Amino acid sequence: MITGKNSESPNEVHGLTEEQRRDIMMYLQGMVYGWCESQSEKESEGKAKSQPFAARNLVGGVNWHWKGTPLQCVYDKQTTDEKTAYDVAAQEVGRLLKRIIIDDQRGFTCEKDGLNTYHYTWDGKYPPKE
C-alpha cells in the first residue's frame, strides 16, 4: 500500500493475457521483495527501511534485457520502432509495478521526480501475521 501522496491508481496496461499479467506481477513482486530485503538499512527502533527504488532500478539499466523473462511480452506487443517500443514497454512495466506496490500489504511511500518517475520506499514494517 502507498501512504501519503502519489497513491492514485495507475492507468491500466492492455494487450496482455491473464496468464501473462499474473506471471509479470509475480515476477515484479519477487523483485520488490528482493530489493526491500537486500537494500534496507536498520533504523534506531530495529526495523528496516529500504533504499528508494523505481522500475528502472529493478528492470532497467543493467537489467534491461528482458528476453526469457515474463516482461518480454510487454515489449513484444509494441508495434512501433525499437526505441519507442522500449520506452512504451518501460512505462507499462512501471504502471504494473505501481499496481504491485498499491496492492502490497506492506507500507510504501511514493515520490515523483521531475521526470515523472515514481520512486518507492518500503517503510520497514511487515503486515500483521494472520
Tell me the average pLDDT across 107-117. Answer: 83
Q: How far is CA 109 from the centre of its chain?
A: 13
pLDDT-derived band at 11, boundaries 50, 70, 90: confident
Summarize pLDDT for 40-59 with one digit per residue, the tens: 766 545 556 778 899 999 99
**Biggest CA pair distance of the chain:** 50
Which 3 state secondary structure label does DSSP give 21? helix
- Classify the phi-psi angles of 124: left when phi > 0, otherwise alpha if psi is within -120 to 50, otherwise beta: left
pLDDT at 114 over 80: no
Separation of alpha carbons 38 and 17, rounded Å: 31
* Residue 25, CB-side half-sphere exposure with 13 Å CA sphere: 16
Q: Domain locations in the chain?
A: 2-6+53-112
Span 16-30, pLDDT tens digits: 999 999 999 999 999
Using alpha carbons, select from 85, 92, 36 the residue that is nearest to residue 59.
92
pTM of the entire structure? 0.84
